[in-house]
């Protein structure tokens, strides 16, 4: 097996692990805020130990530390809304919403990176919106559907979960755009992640104190939760990031993009395997997801051809 094939297999294994993140979120009994509090704490400690063992240091200038704190807040709120959407609806609906990340990137990148809007990306974005509309109005084949009312608007828990997942996807795209600006300035990007996750944890602590809650009560108490949190923090967060940084040095951005777009597919398949009836969706749902993912992949192909041209 040549090195390129090994890198591709490693990349798809990492994406598969990321797809498993949503499954763990469903298994963990604590709420989304407490879950992210525990996840960021364990992951930042693990990456800190990694940096100490390899003697890579933690140095960063004060201006960048403030920027890292902003990114830490973004990733914390992204994860909180991601896991919150799962607990409100289900894994499949949440991953359908999160798979719109490329659309958000095309809309936000010109604003955050001060580049021009791409008309083709905007046109493809309309197709993504079509896919979202199909998913929003589909009727799941499950007894877990609940009808809610907010400010006079009638929603199902699945529709609310999709809205929250879309917001979570927007935060993730914003984080990725801003984080790229940081990582390019640091020869060891793992340092950046350590500080961002540490600041994410500290932000949740500060928020809890502001609203009058004791942060210590956010720690998980059940042994089963700690097992899942350890897997989530170490196997699904710390390891994939450290490994993906290494792979990005050797693989093309297009190869990485194609693989990452398979994350919702892996997640939805795993959800059906683990949760069965509660993840049973109508054919309309899968048509909507197919439109979203197909559009995102088409966007990647168009960009790759432009770079070659």
- Residues sharing a CB contact under 8 Å with residue 196, sequence separation 6 or more, in sequence order: 68, 71, 72, 75, 179
Instruction: Indicate the pLDDT class of residue 200, thresholds 50, 70 and 90.
Output: very high
pLDDT band for position 1 (50/70/90)?
low
* Over residues 10-37, mean pLDDT: 92
pLDDT (tens digit per residue) in 66-102: 999 999 999 999 999 999 999 999 898 999 998 888 7
Whether the pLDDT of residue 202 is over 70: the answer is yes
- Please give the DSSP secondary-structure letter assigned to residue 113: S
User: Is pLDDT of 227 > 80?
Assistant: yes
- The structure tokens listed for 75 are 């990733």
Helix axes 223-230, 32-53, angle to 10 degrees: 50
216: nearest Cα among 41, 5, 81, 88: 41
Has residue 160 got a pLDDT over 80? yes
Average pLDDT over residues 181-189: 73
Residue that wins the pLDDT comparison between 215 and 186: 215
**Average pLDDT score, the chain:** 85
Q: Where is 304: in which H helix or E strand?
A: helix 283-308
Question: Which 8-state DSSP code applies to residue 96?
Answer: H
Comparison of pLDDT for 35 and 244, the residue scoring more = 35
Task: Report which secondary-structure segment, H or E, holds 148.
Answer: strand 147-150
Tokens of 170: 């927007």
Instruction: Name beta bridge partners: 147.
Output: 156
Within 10 angstroms of residue 31's Cβ, the number of other Cβ atoms is 14
Q: With 60 as the cut, is the pLDDT of residue 269 above it?
A: yes
Average pLDDT, integer, range 216-226: 96
What pLDDT, on the 0 to 100 scale, is given for residue 256?
67
**Which residue intervals of 138-252 are DSSP H helices?**
157-183, 189-210, 223-230, 239-248
Average pLDDT over residues 122-145: 79
Q: What is the pLDDT of residue 249?
A: 67
Q: CB count, 10 Å around CB of 119? A: 8
For residue 142, the model assigns a pLDDT of 61
pLDDT band with cut points at 50, 70 and 90 for residue 255: low
What value does the mean pLDDT take over residues 18-46? 95
Characterize 36-52 residue by residue with b for buried, 16 or more Cβ atoms within 10 angstroms of its Cβ, and e for exposed. bbbbbbbbbbbbeeebe
């Amino acid at each position: 097996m040549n090195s390129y094939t090994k890198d591709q297999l490693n990349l798809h294994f990492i994406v598969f692990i990321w797809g498993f993140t949503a499954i763990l979120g469903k298994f963990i009994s604590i709420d989304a805020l407490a879950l992210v509090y525990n996840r960021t704490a364990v992951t930042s400690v693990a990456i800190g130990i990694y940096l100490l063992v390899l003697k890579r240091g933690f140095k960063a200038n004060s201006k960048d530390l403030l920027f890292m704190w902003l990114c830490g807040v973004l990733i914390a709120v992204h994860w909180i809304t991601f896991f919150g959407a799962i607990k409100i609806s289900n894994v499949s609906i949440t991953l359908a919403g999160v798979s719109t990340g490329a659309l958000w990137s095309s809309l936000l990148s010109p604003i955050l990176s001060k580049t021009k809007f791409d008309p083709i990306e905007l046109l493809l974005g309309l197709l993504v919106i079509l896919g979202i509309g199909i998913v929003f109005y589909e009727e799941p084949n499950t007894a877990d559907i609940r009808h809610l009312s907010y400010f006079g608007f009638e929603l199902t828990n699945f529709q609310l979960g999709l809205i929250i997942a879309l917001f979570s996807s927007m935060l993730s795209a914003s984080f990725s755009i801003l984080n790229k600006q940081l990582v390019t300035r640091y020869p060891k990007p793992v340092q950046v992640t350590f500080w961002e996750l540490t600041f994410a944890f500290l932000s949740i602590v500060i928020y809890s104190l502001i609203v009058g809650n004791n942060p210590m009560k956010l720690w998980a108490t059940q042994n089963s939760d700690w097992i899942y949190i350890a897997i989530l923090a170490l196997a699904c967060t710390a390891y994939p990031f450290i490994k993906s940084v290494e792979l990005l040095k050797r693989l093309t951005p297009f190869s990485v993009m194609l693989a990452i777009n398979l994350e919702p597919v892996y997640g939805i398949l795993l959800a059906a395997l683990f949760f069965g009836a509660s993840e049973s969706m109508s054919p309309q749902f899968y048509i909507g997801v197919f439109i979203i993912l197909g559009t995102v992949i088409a966007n990647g192909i168009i960009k790759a051809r432009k770079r070659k041209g």
